[in-house]
Amino acid sequence: MTDQPYISVIVTAYNRRRYLPFALRSLEAQTLSRDKFEVIVVKNFEDKESDDIISRNGWKDVYNDDLYHGRMILAGLEESRGEVITFLDDDDMYVNNRLEAIYRAFTSYSGLVYFENSQAIIDSEGRPAISSQHLSSKNLVNGDDVVVSARSLRTIAEGARVSTADLVLKYIRARAGFNNSSIAVRRETLEAVSGLLRRLPGSIDTFTFSSALASDGLLYFTDRRLTLYRVHGASFSSANFSVQLGNSRAAELRAALGYLNIAVAYRLVTEVLGDDCNYYGLHSLSARAGLQMLLRLGPLPPCLRVSLRDLARALRCYLRGPWSLVESGLLPALVFYALYPLFSSPLGGALYRLGQSVYNRVYYSEYTKTRPSW
């Protein structure tokens, strides 16, 4: 049918108005023919500048005030008609040929279920953020464009007794499944996990990546920087929430919410993967340990506390998997569990912030190293 778009772009914005017009204009500038994509904007506010852009292009404007990002995505999915779904966060932008690259990839490979591109990192004013370029995802095997079979990856992972997710993250693509605005997925792959998506507070990127790994389709990774990923003070991602902990109560609550989102989201990711002995399972534990450290917030329910059984399981996963103590997140979990009473004091808070700063530097240094091809 001529009126059926091939790609549906789901744009999400919650409370933030400042950057949304830039995101929408980047969609207006796309080189892909307008009849091949549609745009659904899911947000919880009215904004004249953004609403004018949406109106003049005939895009859909969906009101949603749900704190769970997964439910905002579902609201957009219900309004969409495309065979391929891609996302755009309100503070990011596409380069003008991103949708064209997605269209070519999915029409070239009939079995393709997942597409992911790399990012150019920008600051709050849209300038290149030189010191943050290490955040961008990149292929670790030879080639700027890599296409792999999820089924074959599972066979290799089973033989090596590691998680499929760990196999990709460690040896195929550093920071795979990073940045919502860099990912596209076949519609049925996302619909297959819609029940879990409804329970997802955030980390749509990781969740979608894991859903593709659980399929039998092809995954396409490209180092082309087709997304402008904005790093700024109001951004809220696993890449930066842990370093924003300050002395104020607001900063403490913000960090706690970040830990909670990661703990819950990564637990759901392990359900999708059917295996909690992986990078995400270990980091879900590490996030719970971070919550436990923030004792001034009050006692945690049992499901969020770190137990000795949790640590024993995590140690077994670490010994089985390919990650170092720092990369796996097990080291901070062990430290937090052993020393969390100290961290509740003012001195402990200062030590925690120092430790987090050192950990982040070491973590990103190790995690983004180029591995040899296999």
What are the tens digits of pLDDT across the range 307-334?
778 888 888 888 888 888 877 778 777 7
- Tokens 């990839």 correspond to what residue? 105
Give every CB contact of residue 266 below 8 A, 6+ residues apart in sequence. Answer: 203, 206, 280, 281, 283, 284, 287
Count other C-beta atoms under 10 Å from residue 29's C-beta.
11
pLDDT band (50, 70, 90) for residue 304: confident
**Bridge partner residues of 118 (DSSP):** 225
Mean pLDDT on 352-366: 58
Cα atoms in the Cβ-side hemisphere of radius 13 Å centred on 107: 9
Note the pLDDT tens digit of each residue in 35-45.
Answer: 999 999 999 99
> Looking at residue 235, what is its pLDDT?
60
- pTM, to two decimals: 0.87
- Ordered by start, the domain boundaries in the chain are 7-230, 241-367
Superfamily for the 7-230 domain: Spore Coat Polysaccharide Biosynthesis Protein SpsA; Chain A (3.90.550.10)
pLDDT at 371: 39
**Percent above pLDDT 90 for the chain:** 59
Q: Nearest Cα to 245, choosing from 253, 234, 236?
A: 253
Per-residue pLDDT tens digits for 110-131: 999 999 999 999 988 889 888 7
> What backbone torsions phi and psi does residue 164 show, to the nearest 5 degrees?
-60, -40
